[in-house]
Structure 1
Amino acid sequence: MAAKRRRLSNPLALVVMVLLSERAMHPYEIAQTIRQRGKENSVKVNFGSLYTVVQNLEKHGLVEVTDVQRQGNRPERTLYGITDAGRAEMAEWLSDLLAVPAREYPLFETALSLMAVLPPDEVIPLLADRLAALDVQIASARGALQMLYGTLPRIFVVENEYQLHMLEAEAEWVRGFLKEVEHGTYQGVAEWRTFHETGELPPEFKELQQRAEGRSTDT
């Protein structure tokens, strides 16, 4: 099952629709609510572009102006509410995100795919630094989660649980990979080291490259 291509792809638009499904708000109040609920830790938020996101939602008929408020000498505040079309879009978009795994291209994965250009003895301390940083993040995330458990039902901190689990999973993988590279037991490490020592591609790697080139030619 593939996710539907959407008119708006910025996840911040989904956050806005979810908040407006609770009650009508003006953009400044939306920004405040995002901060109060810590949603900027779960979605990339550029508060400077929030007004543009709201305008785009209005353009597509997903939100609409519900009121214009003026208090004393303060500037007018335009309140927005979600439309029926917006509620349908919100529910469908969120359902897709929950049900359909998306290819997200994390930067660490990119770095791993290019890692062999560096010598193993340079990579080892870099991964050790990453592991140390992950351990600090895990300890901090655990502490924060315990504090949240004391004030909120688990349903409202589910994303924090997921973030902690992903940090722990990454740390476990890095720890195991680092150990194998250090001990030379990870398949291909010897050839990787030889390449950087001699500047020559090992025969095993040349053979793999030739096979890949052959497959590319065949297709």
Structure 2
Amino acid sequence: MEKRRKVANPLALAVLAELLAEPMHPYEMGRRLQEHGKDRSFKYNRGSLYMVVEQLRKAGFIIEQETVRDTQRPERTVYALTEEGRQEFYNWMRELVSAPRHEYPHFGVALSLLSLLSPTEAAELLDRRLAALTAEAAEIRASVRGAVDGGVTWVFLVEEEYRLAVLDAERTFITQLIESLKQPDYVRAWQEIFGSRT
């Protein structure tokens, strides 16, 4: 069973990971997440990053190490990882990597109700989704190629490879689903059940 965490926002895991490397202030954490492309895996903005940092501090996973004063910049608090924070990071990572978790993506909800759309409209909407997924996959492939050509080790790109695998699986699924929606037997059955309601 999944453990209930003191700070459950996935962004907290990214903050703990950054602090494993060295103490730093939240602005630097955000800069590094963007620089390393991790902002594609963690949904955040500056406010949410500072909120998560404060939650981690209250939970005892990080501490204020020092306040840096620079005449050209505002005062910044540098945070460091505590031993409890280090343990939390590794325990959380072990759980996420080893234990599958049922997630509730919006697309799954839409698929569960897809029969309420006409076969023609559903196929047209899925065609649009397929085009968007294809463009996204091409963008990720180009980004990965550029990173590899730039000497980035594969393990630092593994989340992008995973995203590509998921996108490719979804594209295959959608292609087959569109074909199924166009089958005369399905169209006839849909019209018999829902045709009078639309």
- TM-score band by shorter chain is over 0.9
Match in the other structure for 2:195:
197
Q: For 1:83-125, what per-residue CA distance to the aligned partner results, in whole angstroms no more than 9, with x for missing partners?
A: 0000000100111111111111111111011112211121111
Q: For 1:13-37, what per-residue CA distance to the aligned partner results, in whole angstroms no more than 9, with x for missing partners?
A: 1100110011000111111111111
* Residue correspondences, number: 197
Q: TM-score, normalised to structure 2's length?
A: 0.93
Match in the other structure for 1:114:
113
Find the residue that maps to 1:175 and give its secondary structure: helix
Find the residue that maps to 1:81 and give its secondary structure: strand
Q: How far does residue 73 in structure 1 lie from its aligned partner after superposition? A: 5.5
Unaligned runs of 5+ in 2: none
8 Å Cα contact 2:25-2:78 kept in structure 1:
yes
Match in the other structure for 1:128:
127
Mapping of 1:1-219 within 5 angstroms?
Answer: 2-72=1-71, 74-151=73-150, 152-184=152-184, 189-199=187-197
Give the counterpart letter for 2:160 in structure 1.
N
Structure exhibiting the larger radius of gyration computed from Cα positions: 1
Give the counterpart letter for 2:67 in structure 1.
V
Q: How far does residue 189 in structure 1 lie from its aligned partner after superposition? A: 4.9
Aligned-pair Cα RMSD in Å: 1.6
Distance 1:74 1:40 in 2: 24
Distance 1:184 1:148 in 2: 46
Distance 1:166 1:180 in 2: 21
Distance 1:44 1:153 in 2: 24
Find the residue that maps to 1:70 and give its secondary structure: strand
Deviates more, 1:191-200 or 1:62-71: 191-200
Q: For 1:57-83, what per-residue CA distance to the aligned partner results, in whole angstroms no more than 9, with x for missing partners?
A: 111110001111112364321110000
8 Å Cα contact 1:120-1:193 kept in structure 2:
no
Find the residue that maps to 1:79 and give its secondary structure: strand
User: Percent identity among equivalent residues?
Assistant: 38
Unaligned runs of 5+ in 1: 201-219
